[in-house]
Amino acid sequence: MSTPPLTDTRSIRVPPPPATPARRASAFLSTHPRTRLALLLTAPLFWLVVVYIVALVLLLITAFWRVDSFTGEIVTDWTLDNIITVVTGALYQTVTLRTLGVAIAVTIIDVALALPIAFYMAKVASPRMQRFLVIAVLMPLWASYLVKAYAWRSVLSQEGILEWMLAPLGLHTPGYGLTATIITLSYLWLPYVILPIYAGLERVPDSLLEASADLGGKTWRTVGSVVLPLAFPAIIAGTIFSFSLSLGDYITVNIVGGANQMLGNLVYTNVGAANNLPLAAAIALIPIVIIFGYLALVRRTGALNNL
């Protein structure tokens, strides 16, 4: 019985790979890490810096310019007039307070609705039910914003379904106005609040809940001392969405808000109707300042790690 001759691998000479341009480039990159990094980051950095940040900054810079009142041309003289108008004008103060009020109300309503739903989804429901609920929460996001807002216009109208349902109880539809705006915005942003809270609660280990029970904690004690503190950053993350989205909205209030206007409407009319881009940019700074203030406030809670 003879053994097949073993191939002596050492004796085979692997020919060096042909020096194609691709291979040369690859060899160059493997020895030059900084070039590699530069090539990798150029496109995204260009996008982030030029398209994203500079464009926004440029728009906001127009806040320091002014408009020729008759011809509507932008005059690029530096002036603080717009900022002063926006900060001191009674109109802007009223509208800012109204917008803040709506945003806060929407946020409170959404958190109150989202917490039990998210808790049920994360801790109680079977995996099958859980999947179903996630889809159910996501479903409204697949429909257009406008469709949903106009649907609420029909629901809330004098001949709408809400009036039809409430009339036998002696109640009436709120009609178009701030209440309608708060209802519609709460509806629109609810998924954005449920999902972060659900994700946060899912990360709370079941063992902690069991430990609390073992130590004699009743349901409410467990919720108050274990679940809420751990879910707090997630809740804050959810509020950032509902709060900032409400601050900037102008379409919903235009559709169901009756005669009311919010900051977004002032920006919109100043761009579209009055053609006063500088004033619009100055007004747009208000929600930006508010949301940055809010972010600074919640930074320490660790909420931003949840986004």
Other beta carbons within 10 angstroms of residue 247's beta carbon come to 23
Residue numbers 135-154 binding another protein by CB under 8 A: 153
Show the site string, 234-263: x = touches another protein by CB under 8 A, - = not.
-----------------------xxx-x--
Judged by CB under 8 A, the residue of 35, 93, 158, 219 near another protein is 158
CA gap 204, 42 in Å, rounded = 39
CA gap 234, 200 in Å, rounded = 5
Residue numbers 168-187 binding another protein by CB under 8 A: 175-176
Residue pair 242/189 in contact by the 8 Å Cβ criterion: yes
54 binds another protein (CB under 8 A): yes
| Among the residue ranges 50-58, 104-112, 207-215, 226-234, the one whose residues contact another protein (CB under 8 A) | 50-58
Show the site string, 93-132: x = touches another protein by CB under 8 A, - = not.
-xx-------------------------------------
Q: What is the end-to-end Cα distance of the chain in Å, rounded? A: 70
CA gap 119, 198 in Å, rounded = 7
Spatial CA neighbour of 202 closest among 262, 125, 123: 123
Distant-in-sequence, close-in-space partners of 243: CB < 8 Å, separation ≥ 6: 103, 104, 106, 107, 291, 294
Cβ of residue 250: shortest distance to another protein, in angstroms? 13
Report the interface residues with another protein, using CB under 8 A: 33-34, 37-38, 41, 45-46, 49-50, 53-54, 57-58, 61, 68-76, 90-91, 94-95, 153, 157-160, 175-176, 257-259, 261, 266, 269, 271-276
